[in-house]
Amino acid sequence: MPFKWKATENPRKKVDLEVMKAAVKRVLDDNVSIRAAAVEYEVDRKTLGRYVTKVKEGNETVFKADHNSSQIFSREEENDLEKYLLTAARLNHGLTSKELRRFAYEYAVARGKPISDNWKKNNQASYDWKRGFMHRHPRLSLWNPQGKSLGRGTAFNPTSVGEFFQNLRSVYHTNKFSPESIYNLDETGVTNVQKPGKVIAPKGEKQVSKMTSAERGTLVTLCCAVNATGNVVPPSLSIQDRD
């Protein structure tokens, strides 16, 4: 069964709610049969019959389409979930798919939402719910995060950054550095081992390999510096054997 239904060659006709309301009024006020009113207004006979029954029984009837009745959370609650996920990602504590499903289950229990037995059995939301949630919120996507140490992450805060620039401003004012004396330096690591791309191989193989220059090779650290006027100094290299 496909997860997302696609429209067929003859999709169901969308009903104008004002037309449906007029058809109900025609049945009740003019004593026209439901079948005749459905043909006259070109609406579904059974749908019209349900609306007529609701009005006759005195139930509060809102002629408004509701396509989210099967969703666990309302639109506002899902927007809150989206905001939480975006905030957590910016704080370097993004949730994985499984963590999102467990969090959604706990959120549903806390809000008293009706959930399926499958959710209760696994103590987490279903995989289909997660896919639907990601589809309804296109700003979210799965990423492969880069590792960051706790010390480095906690050190990058408004207090530390403000103190750094305050010290930098003080040094500039004290020594009166000119632009050609202000350099920005950065380093990067380069290895001589190429990462193989995907290859075509027979099905059922337990191990597929591809030749490279070495398995671990040599790590070359490249250090570059450029000043505020655009001048550069020759890069420095440091070679470390990783075998």
Compute the C-alpha angle 199/204/209, nearest 5°.
35
Q: Are 113 and 58 in contact (CB under 8 A)?
A: no
φ, ψ dihedrals at 221, nearest 5°: -95, 120
Residue 1: the pLDDT is 44
What distances in angstroms separate CA 214 from CA 191, 200, 211, 218, 241, one per listed residue?
Answer: 10, 21, 8, 9, 11
The Cα–Cα gap between 97 and 144 comes to: 12
Query: How would you write the pLDDT of the chain (243 residues) with one tens digit per residue?
Result: 445 656 555 555 666 778 888 888 888 888 889 898 888 888 888 888 888 888 887 766 666 655 555 678 888 999 999 999 999 888 888 889 999 999 999 999 999 988 888 999 999 999 999 999 999 998 888 887 777 777 777 777 888 889 989 998 999 889 888 888 889 999 888 777 777 777 666 777 677 776 766 666 778 888 999 998 999 989 888 887 655
Q: Are 104 and 128 in contact (CB under 8 A)?
A: no
What distances in angstroms separate CA 16 from CA 11, 20, 44, 63, 229, one per listed residue?
Answer: 15, 6, 11, 10, 66
